[in-house]
Amino acid sequence: MIRAALFLLLALLTVVARADDTALPNTDDPKRLQLRVHLEPEGTLVQGETARLVVDLLTPEFFHEAPTLPTPRIEGLYVALTDENAAHPVVTIDGANWSGISRVYLVTPLSGGRMTIPSFQVSVSLGANGDTVTAMTPPVPLRVQALPLPPGVTEALIASDVKVSQAVAPDKGGLRVGDSVTRRIVITADGAPAMMIPPLAFPPIHGLTTYAAPAQTRNAVGDQGGFMGGERTESVSYVIQERGHYTLPPVTVRWMDVQTHQWRESTVPAVKFHAWWGAPAQGRFGVPGQGPVERAWAFLRSDLGIALVVLVALGVAAWWFRAHLRRAVQSMRERRERHRQSESVAFHKLMRLRHSSDADRVYRAVDDWLRRCARQGEPGSLDAWIRRYGDDGLRLQSRELLARVYGEESKTADGWTAQPLLDALKAARQRRHTPPWRRRVDLPPLNPV
């Protein structure tokens, strides 16, 4: 019984082994599948420059299904399989027509020196039965020129053109504390894969809380399915914590032109906005127990309340300043009039006639000065000035003036000027500030001749 069971088990294993042998694919058959690999462009690459690795899959038969190629991982190289629909090659090998499918890899060296893209295995399904056939790609040598980076650049971006755009939401004013501002920046690099576009740095800003979203990358293809370039989208949100003016700094991307090998910059400008104090968030239903004080405080913290307080303060300041200004102007006018009517101003006008020979004019100026002296409590006539502050010289000159004004002598006689009279008046005016006991008194001679 045991022998029969062992015999049946051995027979079953034999059948399974034969079934597996019939399912094994035909591998490494150069008569059914050949691979050709070439690099575009050929020659030396620059560190960070992206090239196209084209793999041609050739067969004299037909593909049972679309081939799926692996993505090899190579140290120091960025390799990515694209969705580009390359041309279908048709060649003649040993007198037979071979056709095939081309697949394109993007290859970007991350460092300088000599490198090699090693062989990797490709499996396809051929014929009506879908036989699996495998082949190995030939190795591809690379020569990469190291690229010195300028100050401030940590990753090299080499492209034919780079564009940077931004969108800010909300794009209108009316922001207040608690609102958020979202800045979305899109970087498009022609001829460079999206993974080679360096990430952006968003430094913290006082008064704003920063929330950066994960970056989104994609490779763009043209109308014919060919690779065009990469696109990286970065989005960051700022939550306003304090009232004030804010500036989001400009964003600059430095890159090298693949044609001229010159460094260039693409920039988006800074974003400026202002945030007001915000009223506290209102619930959908009224909060019970909120008294008038709480409601008044909430209103004063709103934009309308702040504007009302500012308008009232400006009105009070304007009213106070207007009344103060009117009083100041009136006081200035009064001081100016008092100065214009003062004794000192009249005396300075009189002194300007010291070389005049017109007795009437000099007499009128002396009379105007005496009237202003009387208003200030000083003597109001020449005789009073002579008695209190004058001397014989002033008495003699005053008589001379009166004689020329009221006498028969010529009022403009040759040789007479007002200088002696005005000098005597000036000396008397200076003596009014001298105490009486210090004034000089001229006594008559004791023994007159």
Q: What is the pLDDT along the chain (449 residues), one digit of tens a residue?
A: 455 544 444 444 443 333 333 333 334 678 888 888 988 888 888 888 888 889 988 988 888 888 888 888 888 888 888 877 667 888 888 888 888 888 888 898 888 888 888 998 898 888 888 888 888 889 999 888 888 878 877 777 889 899 999 999 988 777 888 889 999 999 999 988 888 899 998 999 999 999 999 999 998 877 666 778 899 999 999 999 988 899 999 999 999 888 888 889 999 999 999 888 765 444 444 445 456 776 677 666 666 777 888 888 888 888 888 878 888 888 898 888 888 888 888 889 888 888 888 888 888 888 888 888 888 888 888 888 888 887 788 888 888 888 888 876 555 556 788 888 888 888 888 887 666 555 555 555 566 55
Determine how many CB atoms are found less than 10 A away from the CB of residue 349: 12
> Alpha carbon 216 to chain centroid distance?
26
Q: What is the model's pLDDT at position 278?
A: 65
Position 360: which residue type? Answer: D
- Answer whether 54's CB lies under 8 Å from 138's CB: no
> Alpha carbon 125 to chain centroid distance?
60
Helix (H, G, I), strand (E, B) or coil at 263: strand
Q: What is the model's pLDDT at position 284?
A: 41
Q: What is the model's pLDDT at position 161?
A: 92
Q: What is the model's pLDDT at position 448?
A: 58
- Answer whether 118's CB lies under 8 Å from 137's CB: no
- What is the C-alpha to C-alpha distance for residues 215 and 207, in angstroms, rounded to an integer? 24
Q: What is the model's pLDDT at position 441?
A: 52
Residues 342-345: contacts with CB within 8 Å, 24+ apart?
342/372, 342/376, 343/369, 343/372, 343/373, 343/375, 343/376, 343/378
CA proximity to 362, closest of 373, 352, 374: 352
- Answer whether 47's CB lies under 8 Å from 162's CB: no
CA atoms within 13 A on the CB side of 85: 5
Position 205: which residue type? Answer: I
Q: What is the model's pLDDT at position 413?
A: 52
- What is the C-alpha to C-alpha distance for residues 187 and 198, in angstroms, rounded to an integer? 10
- What is the C-alpha to C-alpha distance for residues 370 and 377, in angstroms, rounded to an integer? 11
Length of the chain: 449
- What is the C-alpha to C-alpha distance for residues 167 and 146, in angstroms, rounded to an integer? 36
Residue at token pair 């399912």: 23
Tokens read off for 146: 């190291």
pTM of the model: 0.54
